Structure formats: C-alpha cells, structure tokens
Amino acid sequence: MTEDVRAAAQRMYEAFNARDYGAVAEIFTADFYSHPLETTGPESVAQAWRRFHEAVPDVRVVVEDMVVEEGKAAVRTRVHGIPGQPPPTMLEMFRVRDGRIAELWGLSALRRGFQGAASVGTGR
C-alpha cells in the first residue's frame, strides 16, 4: 500500500509539470475532495492546474520530502518559476484510495497574487 500512495503522489506532480490535464481522471478518484478549495472531482483539479499554468507559465513543482504512512502522504515541495520571488514551499497531505488520490489538504507560502491556484492538488 505504501508504494501505491507514493506512486499516486508522484504521478500527480509529474502530470502537473507536464501539463497533462487528461491524467487527472487516472490520478484522482471520481469523488476527490479538496479541503482548501472545497471542490470535488478530477475536473476541478484540471481547472485549477490550467489557471495556475496560465498565471505562471514557467511553473514547475519539485518534491523535496515525502512521508507515506497508512494510506496517506505528506509532501513538501518547492514551486519554481514564479517571477519576483524565491521558490516558495507548499505542504500537501493526501489520502489515497485504490491507488488514486481521494482527498487533499494543503498550505502554501505563495504570495497572495497566486493563491487562487496555489497548489498542485488544488490546495492553497
């Protein structure tokens, strides 16, 4: 189970960096829920990713640390490519079910102008 959780998180960041919006249906459960944005479903993720990529075309997320335990992953990342600031940190926590991300909590150190699309998994 631990490797399924790690793989789901890694797939999400890879798809975000590749701008692979179609992959969200394979990465997130149909009933995926983002606590920070109070949105449901994979399409809400694809929409958030598109907004973020439009606002910050050169954005790229690099995983710094990942802790996996009992169906959950806690991930610390750096967000590169944001003009006018050093790479901010994001902290996201996922619950994985059947190899897909089912639920997300997130915090970000991004400046206010990017808060609407601040997190890869649609956290803030």
Give the model's pLDDT for residue 29.
98
- pLDDT digit of tens for each residue in the chain (124 aa)? 789 999 999 999 999 999 999 999 999 999 999 999 899 999 999 999 999 999 999 999 999 999 999 999 999 999 999 998 899 999 999 999 999 999 999 998 876 555 444 556 655 4
- Please give the model's pTM, rounded to 2 decimal places: 0.89
pLDDT of amino acid 92: 97
Tell me how far apart the alpha carbons of residues 88 and 76 are, in angstroms, rounded to a whole number. Answer: 10
In the chain, the domains with their CATH numbers are 2-117 (3.10.450.50)
State how far the Cα of 27 lies from the Cα of 20, in Å rounded to an integer. Answer: 11
